[in-house]
Amino acid sequence: MPQTAETIDSAAVRAWCTLALQALGREREEIDAINVYPVPDGDTGTNLYLTAESASRAVEAVFTAHGTGTPDLADVVRAMAHGALIGARGNSGTILAQLLRSMAEVLARGCDGDHLADALRAASASARQAVAHPVEGTILSVASAASEAAPSGAGSGPAAVARAAYDGARTALEATPGQLAVLREAGVVDAGGRGLVTVLGALVEALSGEAPARTPRHQRAVVAPHAVPEVSCGGGGPAYEVIYLLEADDAAVTRLRDRLDGLGDSLVVVGGEGLWNVHVHVDDAGAAVEAGIEAGRPYRIRITHFAAEGPALAGEPAQRAVVAVVPGEGLAALCAEAGATPVVARPGEPPASGELLDAVRRAHAREVVLLPNDADLWHPAAAAAEQARAEGVRVALIPTRAAVQGVAALAVHQPERRFDEDVVAMTAAAGATRYGELAVAARQSFTSAGVCQAGDVLGLIEGDVAVIGRDLAATAETVLDRMLAAGGELVTLILAEDTPPALAERLEAHVRDRYLAVDTCVHHGGSQQAPLLIGVE
């Protein structure tokens, strides 16, 4: 029997983020397909997914930092809001980030049904304030209906409030074609509103344990080519979407809003406390960025031309390319030398689907082999691959778990082979590579090899702690011996920039003295988190 939450706690918020991400992942393509406003560029579902993905990652990071303990609700909802803010994509994603931010501000102060109702009302009001020119029949209308339907002051539990808000949002969604002519002509509901209903449905499930009935599928009607041009930025509207994060004070942002409002449309500025996410559609992308520079410090600047599926690239696309996620700049350079497009995963900042998709687009090839090199990146990589396929790129995702497996796969890559043959060879090379790494324990912890203390050197094999030691070199030798006990022909060592070079020399000598038929290859990975990565082929 499902358990109904009497209050909203950290676990419920975590569940909400996870369920919302899963639901948006399932419905992403459907939402993309009905995206006709404000620009019919078919990416609303993807943008909402990427925004939710960033929020979920931030929440998971808080739980990871607390180890076996439970983080405070205030810390979790603030992490959710911050993650959504820095990862917001597109018009609807930016508005969703503002909705989550305002909800978080209220939920940080209380966790019962009345607080949830207040949070929904605050979210709706702040989202409208963030949009320069609110339009009915959009995600804003759905958010307003959700907040108005949420009961308050009657002692309702959070699950009942969430259910009422969901029902109100769902009803409002069905009414959006009657509010916006472009939706009516295309025969669809608003894509952003559709995504918000999905997010609220995940909230209902997180609080009640029961998933609400799925929103009916809406398919875009076949309409004449002239039916939608007035909202297409490629046909009379602004040509570019500009998004960036901005560090600036409130007064500077007020001036920025006025400046950007005169440059284009679809202006949404969300955030606060010195950090903002800016979204606008303009013809002069440079002027929009310059306005941000005048206001403060813009970064993570993204400029998209609406007439293109992705960034404009000159020349004919290559036949085949490889995109590889790597843990440091050293391996990025190695991959680039081998002809691959690298994506650097910095400590604590794993790449999201959008970054992987951008890399696939930069590769500018008809066929792409994608190497995530981390099991935690398989889902984002799959989402990026799906989107790239929708754009006409043939993508093969090889489920590599570690950077050394990616190096092995790249070593046998032959672009002149047939695509399927090349993918099979690369997959076989990656699968034949056992992987290990060294790490330094940050705190006392229970592991599969026993209890470790802060400062201990941990030797991991295939992701599990196999050795606990005090000395880096001795622990590395033990890990190598265990990995080579099952055989091997080539050992690959990848050193971090702060790992003593003498370690590689010692390990090379160790392999040479004990394993006569085994060769050793050493690479320098740069600022990777692990002092040493090990591969055995």
Q: So what's the pLDDT on residue 104?
A: 95
Pair 115, 109: CB distance under 8 Å = yes
Q: Output the pLDDT for position 234.
A: 35
3-state secondary structure of 191: helix
In this prediction, residue 3 has a pLDDT band, given cuts at 50, 70 and 90, of low
Over residues 315-339, mean pLDDT: 84
pLDDT, tens digit, for every residue of 398-429? 999 999 999 999 999 999 999 999 999 999 99
Report in angstroms the alpha-carbon separations of 22 from 19, 262, 295: 5, 38, 37
Is a pLDDT exceeding 90 seen at residue 335? no
Q: What is the pLDDT of residue 527?
A: 74
Q: Of 76-90, 186-200, 270-284, 377-391, give the lowest mean pLDDT range.
A: 377-391
Residue 219 is predicted with a pLDDT of 53
Count the neighbouring beta carbons within 10 Å of the beta carbon of residue 228: 18
For residue 217, what pLDDT is reported?
64
Q: Nearest to residue 357, comparing CAs of 327, 329, 380?
A: 380
pLDDT greater than 90 at residue 36: no
Residue 308: what pLDDT? 44
- What's the pLDDT at 132? 92
Tell me how far apart the alpha carbons of residues 229 and 51 are, in angstroms, rounded to a whole number: 28
Strands (E), 348-489: 365-371, 394-397, 434-440, 445-447, 450-452, 457-461, 464-469
Mean pLDDT of all residues in 290-317: 71
Residue 355 near residue 387 (C-beta atoms within 8 A):
no
Q: What is the mean pLDDT of the chain?
A: 87
Closest C-alpha among 428, 437, 379 to residue 403: 437
**Angle in degrees, CA 24, 29, 32, rounded to 5:** 95
Q: What is the DSSP string of 375-391?
A: GGGHHHHHHHHHHHHHT
Rounded mean pLDDT of 435-442? Answer: 90
Looking at per-residue pLDDT, the higher value among 474 and 306 belongs to: 474
Total residue length of the chain: 537
d(CA 33, CA 519): 52
Residues 72-120 pLDDT 10s = 999 999 999 999 998 898 899 999 999 999 999 999 988 888 999 999 9
Pick the range with the lowest mean pLDDT from 134-148, 325-339, 453-467, 508-522: 325-339
Tell me what pLDDT residue 253 has. Answer: 95
pLDDT category of residue 311 using cuts at 50, 70 and 90: very low
Q: Which residue has the higher pLDDT, 111 or 256?
A: 256
pLDDT at 529: 79
CA distance 438 to 120: 46
**Three-state SS string across 44-85, please?**
HHHHHHHHHHHHHHHHHHHHHHCCCCCCCHHHHHHHHHHHHH
pLDDT tens-place string over residues 357-399: 888 988 889 999 999 999 888 888 888 888 888 888 999 999 9
Query: Cα–Cα distance between 344 and 356 in angstroms, integer?
Result: 10
Which residues are within 8 A (CB) of 240 and not within 5 positions of it... i.e. 6 or more apart? 233, 281, 282, 283, 285, 288, 303, 304, 305, 306
Is pLDDT larger for residue 191 or for residue 501? 191
At residue 496, the 3 state secondary structure works out as: strand
User: 279 pairs with which residues across the strands?
Assistant: 243, 268
Find, among 493, 483, 477, the residue nearest to 530 by Cα.
Answer: 493
| 154 — pLDDT class (breaks 50, 70, 90) | low
Residue 440: strand pairing partners: 457
Helix axes of 191-208 and 90-107: crossing angle, nearest 10 degrees:
30
pLDDT band of 528, cuts 50, 70, 90: confident
Decide if 529 contacts 435 (C-beta within 8 A): no
Q: What is the CA radius of gyration of the chain?
A: 25
Percentage with pLDDT > 70 across the chain: 92
Q: Are 520 and 512 in contact (CB under 8 A)?
A: yes
Q: What is the amino acid identity at position 99?
A: L
Higher pLDDT, 177 or 355: 177
Question: Residue type for 109, please?
Answer: R
- For 102-129, give the secondary structure using H, E and C: HHHHHHCCCCCHHHHHHHHHHHHHHHHH
Angle at 526 between CA 524 and CA 529, to 5 degrees: 110
pLDDT surpasses 70 at 224: no
Q: Rounded to 5 degrees, what are φ and ψ at 214? A: -65, 140
- Separation CA 194–CA 245 (nearest Å): 26
Task: Give the pLDDT score at 336.
Answer: 84
Distance CA 137, CA 142 (A): 8
Residue 328 clears pLDDT 90, i.e. is over it: no
Is residue 228's pLDDT more than 50?
Answer: no
Q: Does residue 47 have a pLDDT over 90?
A: no
Per-residue pLDDT band for 471 (boundaries 50, 70, 90) equals: very high
pLDDT digits (tens, 9 = 90+) for 155-168: 789 999 999 999 99
What's the average model confidence in pLDDT over 43-61?
90
| Tokens 């394993």 sit on residue | 515
Query: What local confidence, expressed as pLDDT, does residue 303 receive?
Result: 73
